[in-house]
């Protein structure tokens, strides 16, 4: 391997492999200095560069060429150079430009969080909370679209879409045929499938997980509950098509929703198949591991527990207790 390169982000120096992007270098440091990313997705090749929320200022290009970069750059697509100095939250210019981007993202967003299934785990909601203004300066009618069903399990609510292209990359990378893409251009662009056909693939449900907003929602979970009333639990099953590692979202005894496990940046660890996601909604289908760790800052944590108290359904059923014996005896620590 070639030599590691040094990069300083907001005064914190880190050594990373050459070819790492500024965003990934920042993620290695972690904490507040990580730029938000709405369109970049580390598991999707070619993603990033579009939403512009991750813009940062490069105040020193590199050791060899110390000139600063003339414009703010998208940190998800700019690779680090040795000796590069980057300003993210320490630069007022970046903060202002980012709040400008957030404002742009919100002007055509319906802000229907009270009826949106994504509320509570929405990247745009978090971003709006951090950077958004309290009042909009946009006084015109927002653009609207009809809702489209992509297959019988996924619904596309184009009004909420921020055109991050993540689902397009997902659909491109899980299937051989190009069936899912963008129609039209400018602010009337819309995500669509080829003449409204379904994305016919075992992994098509992952477009729901990659969507940073509530544009693509799970029809089996639609309007069932608010995410902060549900309790996430990590579980697995022996699945022939995927890894079978998922998060189950419980309300009482019922599994309302199955999603892939997500890391702290909201990215799935492994893509899961549609059978796991849509069809296996009984506790008996799964081996429970432990409660999913939820960040304290998330609204979901408000009603959440960190140690495993066996669910009522397990407490009553000896067979289930036996099946989950190992997991139940574990002391979950985070």
Partner 1 sequence: MARKLLLEHINVPGINTLDVYRQKGGYRAVEKALKTLTPDEVVEEVKKSGLRGRGGAGFPTGMKWSFLAKPEGVARYLVCNADESEPGTFKDRYLMTHIPHALIEGMIVSSYALGAKTSYIYVRGEMMPQIRILERAIAEAKAAGFLGKNILGSGYDLELYVQPGGGAYICGEETALLESLEGKRGNPRIKPPFPAIAGLYGCPTVVNNVESIAAVVPIINDGGDEYMKIGIGRSTGTKLISASGNLVRPGVYEIELGLPVEEFIYSDEYCGGIANGKRLKATVAGGSSVPVLPANLTLKLANGEPRLMSYESLSEGGFATGTMLGSGGFIAFDEDQCIVRNTWNFSRFYHHESCGQCSPCREGTGWMEKVLHRLEHGHGKMSDIDLLVDVSKKIEGNTICPLGDAAAWPVASAIRHFRDEFEWHVKEPIKSLQGNYGIANYAVPIAKAEVKQEN
By CB under 8 A, name the binding residues for partner 1.
48-53, 55, 71-72, 74, 77, 97, 100-101, 103-105, 107-108, 137-138, 140, 162-163, 165, 181-182, 184-189
With a CB cutoff of 8 Å and minimum separation 6, the contacts of 185 are none
**Would you say 16 or 97 has its CB closer to partner 1?**
97
**Would you say 181 or 266 has its CB closer to partner 1?**
181
**Would you say 65 or 263 has its CB closer to partner 1?**
65
**Closest to 148 in 3D by CA, of 131, 169, 167, 166:** 167
DSSP assignments along 12-73, one per residue: EEEEE-TT-BHHHHHHHH-GGGSPP-SS--TTSTT--SSS-TTEEEEEE--SS--PPPSS-E
What's the CA gap between 142 and 124, in Å, rounded?
17
Report, in Å, the least distance between residue 170 CB and partner 1. Answer: 17
Secondary structure in 3-state letters for 163-211: CCCHHHHHHHHHCCCCCEEEECCHHHCEEEEHHHCCCCCCCCCHHHHHC
Query: Do the Cβ atoms of 149 and 192 come closer than 8 Å?
Result: no
**Would you say 101 or 235 has its CB closer to partner 1?**
101
> What values do phi and psi take at 147, rounded to 5?
-75, 145
Report, in Å, the least distance between residue 100 CB and partner 1. Answer: 3
What's the CA gap between 200 and 227, in Å, rounded?
28
**Would you say 88 or 108 has its CB closer to partner 1?**
108
Report, in Å, the least distance between residue 304 CB and partner 1. Answer: 32
Report, in Å, the least distance between residue 181 CB and partner 1. Answer: 7
Report, in Å, the least distance between residue 155 CB and partner 1. Answer: 22
**Would you say 13 or 189 has its CB closer to partner 1?**
189
Report, in Å, the least distance between residue 173 CB and partner 1. Answer: 16
**Would you say 36 or 151 has its CB closer to partner 1?**
36
Report, in Å, the least distance between residue 20 CB and partner 1. Answer: 15
Tokens of 132: 């958004």
What's the CA gap between 80 and 25, in Å, rounded?
8
């Amino acid at each position: 391997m070639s030599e590691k390169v040094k990069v300083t982000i907001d005064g914190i120096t880190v050594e990373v492999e050459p070819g790492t992007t500024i965003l990934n270098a920042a993620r290695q440091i972690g904490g507040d200095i990580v730029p938000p990313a709405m369109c970049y997705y580390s598991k999707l090749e070619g993603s990033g560069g579009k939403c512009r929320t991750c813009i940062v200022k490069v105040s020193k290009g590199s050791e060899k060429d110390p000139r600063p970069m003339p414009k703010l750059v998208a940190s998800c697509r700019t690779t680090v150079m040795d000796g590069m100095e980057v300003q993210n939250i320490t630069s007022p210019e970046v903060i202002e430009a980012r709040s400008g981007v957030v404002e742009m993202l919100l002007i055509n967003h319906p802000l229907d969080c009270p009826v949106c299934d994504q509320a509570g785990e929405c990247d745009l909601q978090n971003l709006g909370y951090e950077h958004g203004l309290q009042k909009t300066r946009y006084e015109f009618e927002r653009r609207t679209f009809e809702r489209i069903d992509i297959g019988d399990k996924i619904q596309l609510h184009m009004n909420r879409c921020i055109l991050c292209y993540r689902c397009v990359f997902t659909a491109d990378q899980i299937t051989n045929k190009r069936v899912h893409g963008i129609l039209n251009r400018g602010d009337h662009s819309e995500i669509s499938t080829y003449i409204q056909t379904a994305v016919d693939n075992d992994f098509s449900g992952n477009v729901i997980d990659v969507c940073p907003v509530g544009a693509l929602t799970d029809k089996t979970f639609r309007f069932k509950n608010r995410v902060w009333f549900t309790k996430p639990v990590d579980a697995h099953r022996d699945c022939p098509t995927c890894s079978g590692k998922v998060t189950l979202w419980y309300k009482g005894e019922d599994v309302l929703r199955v999603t892939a496990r997500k890391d702290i940046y909201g990215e799935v660890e492994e893509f899961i198949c549609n059978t796991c996601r849509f069809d296996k909604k009984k506790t008996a289908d799964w081996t429970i591991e432990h409660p999913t760790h939820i960040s304290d800052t998330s609204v979901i944590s408000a009603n959440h527990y960190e140690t495993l108290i066996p669910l009522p359904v397990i407490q009553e059923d000896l067979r289930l207790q036996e099946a989950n014996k190992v997991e139940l005896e574990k002391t979950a620590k985070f």
